[in-house]
A and B are shown apart, each in its own frame.
Chain A
Amino acid sequence: MTRSIPVVSYLELAGPSRLVADECATCGALHLDRRQRCGRCGGTRLSERPLAPAGTIRTFTVVHRSAPGVEVPFTSVVVDLDGGGTVRGNLVDPLPEPAAITAGDRLRMVERVVGVDVDGTEAVAYAFALEER
């Protein structure tokens, strides 16, 4: 069986996979990066909270020119997840007509394999797919 590893540690591979944030016990702020204090209030008590696998688009861009080694074009989205938490990710293919994306568009999280290392371990990333309006 192929071994899999999440591309970042805030993605938990399970059935179904989910994003897990650190939530501040004092103010409720959510963080996806490893922190020593809450970014909003400085609180010290952070505990894990799973995030919803769907949300509403906050913003996006279609990147056509990037650094060497980065495959273009790709669409980057920022998603406000249902129930809290905001995350940046790729939109899965196909490339949308940018002018067709509007405020309120709904997205759901999907998984995809984004690389295989020398041991055959697959890196699994999350991405987002636009829901039909």
Chain B
Amino acid sequence: MNDSVWIVGASMTPFGRWPAEDAMSLGATAAAAAVDDAGVAWHDIGMMTAACALDVMPAGQRIQKLLVQTGIPVVNVTNACASGATAVRVAQLAIASGEVDVALAVGTEQMGKMGMLLVNQQAPRDRFEPAGRYGAVMPVEGVLGTELMPGVFAMAGMQYALRHNVDVRHFAQVAVKNHRHSTLNPLAQYRKELSLDDVLAADTVAYPNTIPMCCPTGDGAAAVVLASDAFVDCLDPGVRQPATRCTTSTR
């Protein structure tokens, strides 16, 4: 067992729309830069986790084909919005268990312009015959309410608003704050400060959320290199000192 797991390298691509790239090339860019940041050798890496929620083919092996193919074992994970965080979690567990001393975790996505709106869309059928868990005879989005993400999260917010007497302007202020933060982040997809009026006056996606209150769809990747106590002790001090411990000791 390893008591502590450290982040010894990290990297992220800029987020945006990168039609000349694909999810694997973005993931490879982030992975290679994280390994360089850590200053570890590829042969030190005992396992790799990879997350890509919208592409069903295994991402990790395909990312390795763009980098090095030295037989690093891969675990591909998918966990909706938490896929990247789960990749980090699984890499951390591999080190904490004592199985490996160094692990690479990568999350990557190419959403394009439509993103999740193109997921799970059924084609209309010529003849009405019940199918699926609800026995639906036709696609029911927009017929029996909404179950696409923008509407689902808008309804989650409005449930809170109706119960707690929250004003739509309170939600809009969250977007104002987040857009202000984006101006400080060179990797953010949009970097523009917006006023409360700007946010409220924009086109509505799903009430109460306007366009600047919704996550943009976009492409990007991030990666971290995790390492055990024993491995970190052997690192060059220049890498060791800024390393961040991501679990606390249980001693």
Contact = CB atoms under 8 A, between A and B. Distances in A.
Interface stretch (B11-19, B65-73, B97-105, B156-164): B156-164
A59 B138 contact: no
Given A34-B134, A123-B138, A7 B206 contact: no
B140 A117 contact: no
Interface of B: 114, 117-118, 121, 124-128, 130, 133-148, 150-151, 154-156, 158-159, 162-163, 168, 203-208
A34 B207 CA distance: 31
Nearest to A91: B145
A130 to B, nearest CB: 14
B217 to A, nearest CB: 12
B159 A62 contact: no
A32 B162 CA distance: 25
Contacts of B154: 61, 63
A63 B156 contact: no
Nearest to A122: B128
A66 B127 CA distance: 24
Contact of A60 (B127, B135, B139, B158): B158
B17 to A, nearest CB: 18
Interface string A1-15: 000011111100000
Contact of A62 (B117, B118, B138, B206): B206
11 contacts: A7-B136, A8-B134, A60-B207, A61-B146, A65-B150, A69-B124, A90-B145, A99-B168, A117-B126, A117-B128, A121-B127
Interface of A: 5-10, 32-35, 57-72, 74, 76-78, 88-90, 98-99, 101-103, 114-115, 117-119, 121, 123, 125-126
B207 A66 contact: no
B158 A61 contact: yes
Contacts of A77: 145
Contacts of B141: 66-67, 70
Contact of A125 (B135, B144, B163): B144
A74 B142 contact: yes
Nearest to B165: A103
Contact of B151 (A34, A68, A76, A118): A76
B121 A67 contact: yes
Contacts of A117: 125-128, 137
A32 B151 CA distance: 20
Given A58-B159, A118-B127, A65 B145 contact: no
Given A34-B134, A58-B159, A67-B114, 20 more contacts: A5-B137, A7-B140, A8-B136, A9-B134, A63-B205, A63-B206, A64-B206, A67-B118, A67-B121, A72-B142, A74-B142, A78-B155, A88-B147, A89-B144, A90-B143, A102-B162, A114-B143, A115-B128, A115-B138, A118-B127
